[in-house]
Amino acid sequence: MHRIFASILLGCSSLMAWADLRPLAEEELGAVTGQDGITLSASVTFNPNPDLTRCAGGCGARIAINPGRSAGFIIIDNIKGTFSFDGVTLDIVKIDSGFNGEGAQFNSEALRVGLREARFTNAQYSLSGANQASQGPGLQQHDLFTYQIDGAVRMQGNLYIFASP
């Protein structure tokens, strides 16, 4: 019985060896259809660091964004809590209809970030503007607002990112 199974397995593997693996020409590749995009899932917990003393009880994480050709920074500061998401998708989609008639006028591609489910638990962050990315001499930071939730928030939907001309 084992010999029969081994013979079948060997026969199947030798058939797979004959599979035609070759580069595709641009025309052939254009005719290939299938599902594309990326799906991500993660859970991240940010804990305050008591060694950093600029925040009472320790500081959370910090993200500094320098918009193109700008002298300043957009800061997401003192990030604490648990952030998790399940099934975030990234796709390039052509928008040529919908959006109350504006899709036809747009008639171009956009990056679609889809949220199947995102959760924030006991979360906090501050949105700020600053003249430099991190702590140091001469830092001037202006906090715009602080968001804090001591429960859980669930979100879902799509975010579209459009290229600027």
Please state whether the predicted TM-score (pTM) of the whole model is above 0.75.
Answer: no
Of residues 81 and 22, more confidence is placed in 81
Q: Which residue has the higher pLDDT, 33 or 111?
A: 111
Percentage of the chain beyond pLDDT 70 is 79
| pLDDT tens for each residue of 57-107 | 677 888 888 888 788 889 888 888 898 888 888 888 888 888 888 888 888
Burial of 76 (0-12, 13-18, 19+ CB in 10 A): middle
Inter-residue contact 75 to 59 (CB < 8 Å): no
Cα three-residue angle 93-95-97, rounded to 5 degrees: 140
Q: To 5 degrees, how large is the angle CA 64–CA 69–CA 71?
A: 60
Query: What pLDDT, on a 0 to 100 scale, did the predictor assign at position 1?
Result: 44
Write down the pLDDT at residue 142: 86
| Beta-bridge mates of residue 141 | 130
